[in-house]
Structure 1
Amino acid sequence: MSLRSARVNAGLTIKEAAKIIGIHHETLSKYEKDSSDIPMSLLNKLSNLYQIPTDYIFLGNRYELIRTIESKRNKQPA
Structure 2
Amino acid sequence: MIFRARYTFKDLREISGFRLKEISEKTGLSVNEIKAIESDSGEMEVSICKKLSKFYNIDTDYIFIGKQTDFDKKLNDYLGGT
Q: Is residue 2:11 matched to residue 1:5? A: yes
Q: Which position in structure 1 is the counterpart of 2:39?
A: 33
Look at both structures and tell me which one has the larger radius of gyration over its CA atoms.
Answer: 1
Per the normalisation by structure 1, the TM-score is 0.63
State the 4+ residue runs in structure 1 displaced beyond 6 angstroms: none
Query: 1 CA distance for matches of 2:14 and 2:58?
Result: 13
Deviation at 1:27, TM superposition (A): 0.9
Root-mean-square deviation (Å): 1.6
Query: 2 CA distance for matches of 1:32 and 1:18?
Result: 13
Residue 38 of structure 1 aligns to a residue whose secondary structure is strand
Q: Deviations over 1:3-49 (max 9, x none)?
A: 11112233311111012111111110110111233111110110111
Q: Which position in structure 1 is the counterpart of 2:54?
A: 48
Higher strand proportion (structure 1 or 2):
2
For structure 1, the 5+ residue unaligned runs are 59-78
For structure 2, the 5+ residue unaligned runs are 1-6, 65-82
1:10-25 superposed matches below 5 A = 10-25=16-31
